[in-house]
């Protein structure tokens, strides 16, 4: 039987890596993120007239917005401090263990030993990358903080989308409220520099904004179909795509340690794909 939720998460991970590569390749990271989230908010506006307001999910939406704000700040700082191939595996690979612990301990979600082993392998791949080729203490700190925020919003949004009338309802209101808030805050923060950056970065911002809707939209759908610990770890297959993009597109140096870490992550993902 085809596991739709698992396939959705792998696809989500691949697209997520592309979005972050677009952000990393831009000059002004904060302005780039403002453009991405702003375009995402504008695109979903028509949906708001056709989906119910997710009243039951309001506490989760509020928590997710606050967590995403800190997540994006940490993400920008990590990308400013080091190469994508150095920090991306750390920020994504540290999230599954934290998300699994919170989901199991706080919300009583089930987890089996094979799933726990797969999550552990994904995170060990992260340790390999960080231990043998550290991106520097400052960059590593921001990357780990990004991972912690990723774990928190993963669990929050999984609960929120399940409480909503439909996945599409949560999806539309999530991206509208979050995108509007983040884009406004970051644009004001950058001031005149945002206007200058927007002139050259609006096209990649629009492209990444569309992909942001796709990657997290299918992730939210998957969370309605399966358990958080396994699915959160599967989404971190984005690390494999991220390392490949960093090496082939951004022309960053990817050494043996990062490749070994990516290999462990691939094995962990394979385990998670074979268990239900």
**What pLDDT does 13 receive?**
79
**What pLDDT does 275 receive?**
60
Q: What is the pLDDT of residues 95-106, one digit of tens each?
A: 777 777 777 776
**What pLDDT does 126 receive?**
67
Q: SS3 string of 149-214?
A: HHHHHHHHHHHHHHHCCCHHHHHHHHHHHHHHHHHHHHHHHHCHHHHHHHHHHHHHHHHHHHHHHH
Q: What is the pLDDT of residues 23-68, one digit of tens each?
A: 877 778 888 888 999 999 999 999 999 999 999 999 999 999 899 8
Q: How many domains does the chain have?
A: 1
Q: Confirm if 161 and 223 have CB atoms less than 8 A apart.
A: yes
Q: What is the pLDDT of residues 213-249, one digit of tens each?
A: 998 888 888 878 777 667 767 776 676 777 777 777 7
Residue 162 above 80 pLDDT? yes
Where does the chain have alpha helices with state H? 4-25, 29-44, 58-81, 84-93, 95-107, 113-132, 137-163, 167-190, 192-225, 228-235, 238-248, 256-274
For residues 176-195, give the mean pLDDT. 88
Smallest Cα–Cα separation from 119: which of 267, 276, 219? 267
**What pLDDT does 210 receive?**
93
**What pLDDT does 129 receive?**
63
Find tokens 């989906």 and name the residue.
Answer: 51
The verdict on pTM exceeding 0.85 is no
Chain centroid to CA 26: 18
Q: What is the pLDDT of residues 85-143, one digit of tens each?
A: 677 777 777 777 777 777 777 667 767 777 777 777 777 776 666 666 566 778 888 88
CA–CA distance, 40 with 44 (Å, rounded to integer):
7
**What pLDDT does 1 receive?**
42
- Domain limits at 242? 4-274
Q: What is the pLDDT of residues 65-76, one digit of tens each?
A: 899 889 888 888
Residue 172 above 90 pLDDT? yes
């Amino acid at each position: 039987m085809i596991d739709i939720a698992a396939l959705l998460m792998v696809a989500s991970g691949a697209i997520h890596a592309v979005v972050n590569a677009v952000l990393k390749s831009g000059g002004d990271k904060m302005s780039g993120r403002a453009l991405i989230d702003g375009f995402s908010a504008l695109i979903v506006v028509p949906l708001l007239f056709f989906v119910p307001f997710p009243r039951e999910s309001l506490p989760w939406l509020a928590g997710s917005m606050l967590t995403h704000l800190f997540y994006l700040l940490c993400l920008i700082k990590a990308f400013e401090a080091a190469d994508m191939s150095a920090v991306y595996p750390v920020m994504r690979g540290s999230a599954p263990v934290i998300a699994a612990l919170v989901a199991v301990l706080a919300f009583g979600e089930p987890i089996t030993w094979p799933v726990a082993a797969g999550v552990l392998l994904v995170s060990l791949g992260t340790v390999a990358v960080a231990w043998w080729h550290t991106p520097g203490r400052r960059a590593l700190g921001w990357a780990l903080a990004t991972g912690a925020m990723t774990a928190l919003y993963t669990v929050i949004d999984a609960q929120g989308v399940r409480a909503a009338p439909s996945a599409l309802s949560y999806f539309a209101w999530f991206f509208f409220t979050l995108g509007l808030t983040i884009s406004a805050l970051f644009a004001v923060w950058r001031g005149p520099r945002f206007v200058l950056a927007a002139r050259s970065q609006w096209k990649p911002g629009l492209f990444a904004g569309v992909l942001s809707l796709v990657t997290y939209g299918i992730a939210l759908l998957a969370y309605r179909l399966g358990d958080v610990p396994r699915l959160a770890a599967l989404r971190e297959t984005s690390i494999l795509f991220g390392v490949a993009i960093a090496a082939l597109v951004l022309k960053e140096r990817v050494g043996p340690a990062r490749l070994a870490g990516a290999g462990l992550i691939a094995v962990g993902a394979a385990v998670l794909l074979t268990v239900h």
